[in-house]
Each structure stands twice: as structure tokens, then as C-alpha cells.
A = this chain, B = another copy of it.
Amino acid sequence: MPKRRWLKRDVVIEQAAALANEAGSVTAVSLATLAQALQIRPPSLYNHVASLEDLHRGLALFGLRQLMVELRQASLGLVGREAILATASAYRRFVHAQPGIYPLTVRAPEPEETEATALSQELVQMLLLMMASLGLQGDDAIHAIRGLRAILHGFTSLETAAAYKIPLDQDESFYRLLNAYLDGLTQ
């Protein structure tokens, strides 16, 4: 019964993310279940996170980091519509792979969450560049980005909520939606 000392915030958050993704929702991870998975007692978690809310903040950052890794990789070397479609696919893949923590990445970070804020800004910059390569600038580009994010978040959320019940290929629906929007934007 040793008092292990190897536990780091990162390990705690990683484990929490694993539990959340297995269950498909953050609500499934309580301090009790998380502590059990880490083989410690619930109060000991407070050595690594300040509160349940702080754990969620940590999960959001953890998710945002991974999301951006995937999006950067997906868009590497691509421009215009090709870049946007590849990024959109990667976004959707991320939501499917990490259904538990994805919703946390959506909430706007507080100003003091500097890394999360930076990642959010990077995402906007990345999309702005793609819109520019489609010929959109200034306010047009901002409106276009808002629309794209609405599409990505909306489609993947409804998918996850099992709201599309008709047996018709969802990949196809996704690409049609994106292409229709991009056609409409650029015509």
C-alpha cells in the first residue's frame, strides 16, 4: 500500500478523457469513478485538479490540442476547397473518435485560459487562410467561417445524438452539405 507519487495532472486528465470517450459523455466521469480508475481515493484528486470544473477545463484543453494536431495535419499543403474538405473530414473524424470530450472543446475559453484561447485563435486563422484561398476576405471571410463551424458542429452533434434515423449514408450527407455550402459561397 505505497503512497505513489508518479501521478501528474496530465495522467489524471488523460484517464478522465479515456473514461469520457468510452462512455460517450463527460457526465459519465465522476471523481469517484476517475479515482477508482487511477487507484486512488477521490479526495486525492484535488492534488491535481482544483475542482470538477477545473477537470473539465483540462479536458477541453486536452481535446483542443489533439483537434488542432489533426486539423493541421489534414490541411498540410492543401489550399482552397481541397483544404477545407480535408479539414472538415478531420474535424468529423475527431468528433467520432472522441465523443466524450469533443463537446468541451466547443465552449469559448475564458481569457485566462491562455493556451486554449491561442488554439482557438489558431483555428480561426487557419480557416481565414483557407477562405482567402477561396477568394473571400474581411467580413465575408468571417461570415463564411462562422457558417463552416456551424455546419461542422451541427452535423457532427446531430450525428452523435442519433438524430439522423433514416438509413441513408451519413458520409454522403456530410459531403453534400459541405459542397453545397462551398458552391453557394463561391458562386
Q: Which residues of A contact B (CB under 8 A)?
A: 106-108, 139, 142-144, 146-147, 149-155, 157-158, 161-166, 168, 170, 172-173, 176-177, 179-185, 187
- Assembly CA distance A183 to B170 (angstroms): 22
Judging by beta carbons under 8 Å apart, are A176 and B143 in contact?
yes
Shortest A158–chain B CB gap in Å is 6
Least CB separation from A164: chain B residue:
B146
Number of copies: 2
Q: Known pairs A142-B166, A146-B158, A187-B187. 6 more at Cβ < 8 A?
A: A143-B176, A146-B173, A149-B154, A149-B163, A153-B157, A153-B158
Judging by beta carbons under 8 Å apart, are B157 and A143 in contact?
no
Judging by beta carbons under 8 Å apart, are B154 and A168 in contact?
no
Chain B residue numbers with a CB within 8 Å of A185 are 180, 184
Judging by beta carbons under 8 Å apart, are A106 and B163 in contact?
yes
Shortest A93–chain B CB gap in Å is 16
Judging by beta carbons under 8 Å apart, are A187 and B183 in contact?
yes
Judging by beta carbons under 8 Å apart, are A180 and B181 in contact?
yes
Judging by beta carbons under 8 Å apart, are B158 and A155 in contact?
no
Shortest A59–chain B CB gap in Å is 16
Shortest A73–chain B CB gap in Å is 23
11 pairs, CB–CB < 8 Å, chain A vs chain B = A106-B157, A108-B163, A146-B170, A147-B155, A147-B177, A150-B177, A152-B154, A153-B158, A177-B181, A183-B183, A184-B185
Judging by beta carbons under 8 Å apart, are A108 and B161 in contact?
yes
Shortest A184–chain B CB gap in Å is 3
- Assembly CA distance A180 to B134 (angstroms): 14
Chain B residue numbers with a CB within 8 Å of A139 are 168
